[in-house]
Amino acid sequence: MSLYVSVLVVLALLAVTAPAALIFGFGGAVAARSHFLPLRWIGRTYIAIVRGVPDIAFFLFFVIALDQGFEWLRHKVKCPDWDQPIRQGNDFIVCAQAKLPLSTSPQWVHETYGFFLAVLTFAIVFGAFAANVLYGAMRAVPHAQLETAEAYGMTRRQAFRRILVPQMWVYALPGLSNLWMVLIKATPLLFLLGVEDIVYWARELGGTANPRFTEYPHGDWRVWYFLALLFFYLAFTRVSEIFLERLMVRLSHGQATTGGSSQGHTA
Amino acid sequence: MSCWETVQGYALRSLGIGERLLPREDFTLCEQVTLIGSGLIWNIYFGTLALLAGFFLATAVALGKASRRRILRKPSEWFILVFRGSPLFIQFFFAYFLFLSLKSVSPVFDAFTSAWLGALVVLFLNTAAYSGEIFYGALRSIPRGDVEAADAYGFSGWPRFRRIVWPTMLRLAWPAYTNEAIFLFHATTLVYFSGFPAWQQKGDALYYANYFADKTFNPFVPYPILAGYFILLTLVILSIFGLINRHLNRHLPQEARRKMRLRINVIR
Residues of A in contact with B220 (CB under 8 A): 65
Q: What is the mean pLDDT of residues A155-168?
A: 84
d(CA A173, CA A175): 5
Structure confidence by residue, pLDDT tens digits, B107-161:
878 888 888 888 999 999 999 999 999 999 898 888 888 889 999 999 888 899 9
Domain with residue A20: its CATH number is 1.10.3720.10
**Considering its fold, how many domains does chain B have in total?**
1
Q: Is the pLDDT of residue B255 over 80?
A: no
Minimal-distance CA residue of chain A relative to B228: A53
**Which amino acid appears at position B155 of this protein?**
F
Residues of A in contact with B81 (CB under 8 A): 234, 238
* Domain assignment of residue B5, yes or no: no
- The pLDDT of residue A87 is 66
Q: Which domain holds residue B206?
A: 26-259
Q: What is the pTM of this model?
A: 0.83
Contact A65 B219 (CB under 8 A): yes
Domain with residue B227: its CATH number is 1.10.3720.10
Q: Which residues contact A46 (CB under 8 A, 6 or more apart)?
A: A28, A31, A32, A127, A128, A131
Q: Is the pLDDT of residue A240 over 80?
A: yes
d(CA B172, CA B182): 18
**Residue B177, Cβ density class (10 Å: 0-12 exposed, 13-18 middle, ≥19 buried):** buried
- The pLDDT of residue B51 is 95
**Considering its fold, how many domains does chain A have in total?**
1
Contact A57 B226 (CB under 8 A): yes
- The pLDDT of residue A262 is 45
Q: How confident is the model at residue A156 (pLDDT cuts 50, 70, 90)?
A: confident
Contact B89 A189 (CB under 8 A): yes
* Domain assignment of residue B153, yes or no: yes
Minimal-distance CA residue of chain B relative to A181: B85
Q: Which domain holds residue A45?
A: 2-266
Structure confidence by residue, pLDDT tens digits, A85-116:
666 666 676 776 666 666 667 777 777 888 88
Contact A233 B86 (CB under 8 A): yes
* Domain assignment of residue B54, yes or no: yes
Contact A226 B97 (CB under 8 A): yes
Residue of B25, B217, B264 with shortest CB distance to A51: B264
Minimal-distance CA residue of chain B relative to A48: B266
* Domain assignment of residue B228, yes or no: yes
What letters, b where the CB count within 10 A reaches 16 and e where it falls short, cover A99-134? Answer: ebbeeeeeeeeeeeebbebbbbbbbbbbbbbbbbbb
**A126-140, B16-30, B180-194: the lowest-pLDDT one:** B16-30
Contact A182 B267 (CB under 8 A): yes
Residues of A in contact with B97 (CB under 8 A): 206, 220, 222-223, 226
- The pLDDT of residue B236 is 92
Q: Say whether residue B256 is in contact with chain A using an 8 A CB cutoff.
A: no
